[in-house]
Structure 1
């Protein structure tokens, strides 16, 4: 694979400009190793190597850059799968099967990407902000995303606000109770996943079942 380079960092002060200039390029080498500038800041799949003496401002911008790549990759993978489904309807699943990519995760990304055309994706909000409202009607999506953007809400704050409003609606809804019997280790795995997502177990199960149901129905 040929080397590619993308400018990513901008100096914010004259004092840091010489240091930052050496770190403005992020390149991917033939060995799969990313390099941040000439001073050897580099990453592999499981490692970020940072040399001693990195200025605070550079360290902060590096962190922001890594977050942007991480967040953007969910959109990219969703759009990538949509393209494959459209252009290679008979072959894309086989191609994915030959990689280490998890198909269900990709389907979730694609489902959210379909819910938000590029013109509706808000750059000031994360992919996870959009995921929180993906199951809502479009007008409600726009309402909540606009409020989250204006208020600078975190993903968890957006979820809390939506949940608070939903509680008032659910009081008048007829509820059906569903009981599940699952092995203890599976429940523990679900509990850890829910905690990692900042959700209660029931909320996490409901959220993932809703997403899976919509994705399955749209994939028919």
Structure 2
């Protein structure tokens, strides 16, 4: 049998670095998931999967299809305030941590989509809002933004605007489910006991 010789050189050193970085992130993430409680680990893994799918979903699927999915009625489960607050905090934490790790785009729309799906899957009646604000002094250019809230308590999108903006300058155009665009200003999430490995 002939000697196959040395392995072929990589097509791209940049590609090798990209793969190496993701392998390191994957190993680190596996260690963090192992250290988390069951519910936190599930939320973090779910957020990573949904954020990874959100960018291609937004690019390839018609918006009306996404809007219909975002407005699907949830079950009739009733949760007390403590359960809702804990779930909102866990989902917000998972989205924030996952957005820093996925290789795909994870801006306000992707984060909002993932958070909204996670909350509604858990029986929490969240609202995803699409709004716009003037992007220049004469209002000829508009900036778009997406945020999610539960009973006007911010989940995502309230604190990740650039330039020191807040949501007060954004006019809600549409909400999912519909009919919830005229809401009071978002309230910050109440302080809760820290989730294990929050700062990981």
Q: TM-score, normalised by structure 2?
A: 0.28
Higher relative contact order (CA 8 A, sep 6+): 2
Specify the structure having the higher radius of gyration (Cα): 1
Instruction: Name the structure where helix makes up a greater proportion of residues.
Output: 1
